[in-house]
Structures are given as C-alpha cells and as structure tokens.
C-alpha cells in the first residue's frame, strides 16, 4: 500500500470523508494505513485484533487512538460515533448498529468481481470471479454505491509476495500454488473496489 498500488482506494476514501465531519471508527484497521488518510484532523479511532499491527498504527499516526479489539465486542458506548468504515473486514451488523448514532454512516468496502484476478490466474488452474452482492442489513438503508477500478503491474518479487500474503488466498492455497506466487517475477492484475454507503435508520 505504501508503494501506491492501491492508490485508487485511498483517493476515494479521502474524497468521501473530506466533505463529512464527525467521529470516525475504522474497524479491523490493521496498521492504520487507511485510517490516517480518512481521519483528516477529525476525532478518529481504529482497532484490530493484531497487537503488532496496532503498535505500528499508533507509532505512525499519533493523532488517532488505536486499540486491540474485535468486531463482535467493540469497546465503544452506544451511539458514540458518526462514521464506521470496514475495508475487506468482517461484518458485525449488530455491533455496528449499536455504536453508530442515529443517522450515522457505515462505509463498507468490498472487492469487485475481478479484483486480483491476475493473482488468481497465477495461483489456480481454474480462477474464479468474486460474487457480486446487493446486501441489506437490518437497521440500515443503502444510500450510495460507487465502483473504483484499476490495473497494477508488479515486477518486484518481494512486492508480489507481499501482495499474496495480505490476501486470504495465502491461507487457502496449496503448496504448489504458494510456490508459484513466491517464485513469480512479474504480476499484472486488475484491482477493483465497491464502496457501499449505509445510513443507520433513526429509532
């Protein structure tokens, strides 16, 4: 991410949050890369179950408060935040509903059908597309959906390995598939992100 390969995702998040004020909570924030770009001087928080990731996030972004926690037991009071963001992370709609104030927003980011398809072609004999979904969540109304797509070329074996290890395919691939990724010297692939904005219904 620091090399700019996911820049389209970062740019849209900055654009989205630059016009909105209020407390931000980034769920499963990892090392806080997107959190600090969304914060933009507002009161902001992030959490993740990885202690190492949270240590890095706090070191790199002293303006955001980070904590070790999980999505299904969020350490916030009811109605405490105006914005939630979940980027390729688990969905705990009950907890999201609880911590968001009425009229607050939840930004869900999911991969498009062809996201990282080139990587799948490298790993699998029969690559597959991701499933497109229009999902409704109780207590939320979808108010917007935007798609951002691009293409990336990686010619550094270390970057290919880094991309592979940050995906769920790293844990699901066979030994032979992993060896192909670890020995690759060039990867060209599509990237794509669906930004789905929900608003919490007023109670």
Give me the pLDDT at residue 117, please: 97
Q: Which residues contact 49 (CB under 8 A, 6 or more apart)?
A: 28, 68, 69, 70
CB-CB neighbours of 180 under 10 Å: 14
3-state secondary structure of 78: coil
What confidence tens digit (pLDDT) does each residue in 148-193 have?
999 999 999 999 999 999 999 999 889 999 999 999 999 999 999 9
What confidence tens digit (pLDDT) does each residue in 65-93 have?
999 999 999 999 999 999 999 999 999 99
- The CATH architecture annotation of domain 7-115+131-152+191-200 reads 3-Layer(aba) Sandwich (3.40)
What's the per-residue H, E or C state across 1-34? CCCCCCHHHHHHHHHHHHCCCCCEEEECCCCCHH
Q: How far is CA 98 from the centre of its chain?
A: 21
What confidence tens digit (pLDDT) does each residue in 9-28 have?
999 988 888 877 899 999 99
What confidence tens digit (pLDDT) does each residue in 115-124 have?
999 999 999 9
Give me the pLDDT at residue 202, please: 87
- Cα(112)–Cα(195) distance, integer angstroms: 10
Q: Where are the domains of the chain?
A: 7-115+131-152+191-200
CA distances from 58 to 25, 35, 52, 64, 154 (A): 14, 11, 10, 7, 29
Average pLDDT, the chain: 93
- Cα(195)–Cα(42) distance, integer angstroms: 21
Give me the pLDDT at residue 102, please: 96
């Amino acid at each position: 991410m620091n090399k700019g390969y996911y820049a389209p995702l970062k740019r849209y998040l900055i654009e989205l949050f630059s016009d909105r004020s209020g407390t931000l909570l980034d769920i499963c924030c990892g090392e806080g890369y997107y959190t600090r770009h969304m914060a933009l001087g507002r009161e902001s928080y992030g959490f993740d179950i990885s202690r190492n990731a949270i240590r890095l996030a706090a070191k790199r972004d002293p303006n955001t408060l980070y904590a070790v926690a999980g999505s299904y037991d969020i350490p916030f009071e009811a109605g405490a935040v105006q914005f939630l963001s979940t980027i390729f992370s688990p969905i705990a709609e009950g907890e999201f509903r609880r911590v968001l104030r009425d009229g607050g927003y939840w930004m869900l980011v999911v991969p498009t059908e062809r996201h990282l398809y080139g990587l799948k072609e490298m790993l699998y004999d029969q690559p597959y597309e991701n499933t497109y979904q229009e999902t409704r969540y109780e207590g939320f109304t979808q108010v917007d959906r935007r798609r951002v797509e691009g293409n990336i070329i990686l010619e550094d074996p270390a970057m290919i390995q880094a991309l592979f290890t940050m995906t769920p395919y790293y844990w699901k691939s066979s030994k032979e598939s992993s060896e192909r990724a670890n020995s690759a010297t060039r990867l060209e692939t599509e990237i794509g992100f669906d930004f789905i904005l929900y608003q919490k219904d007023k109670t």
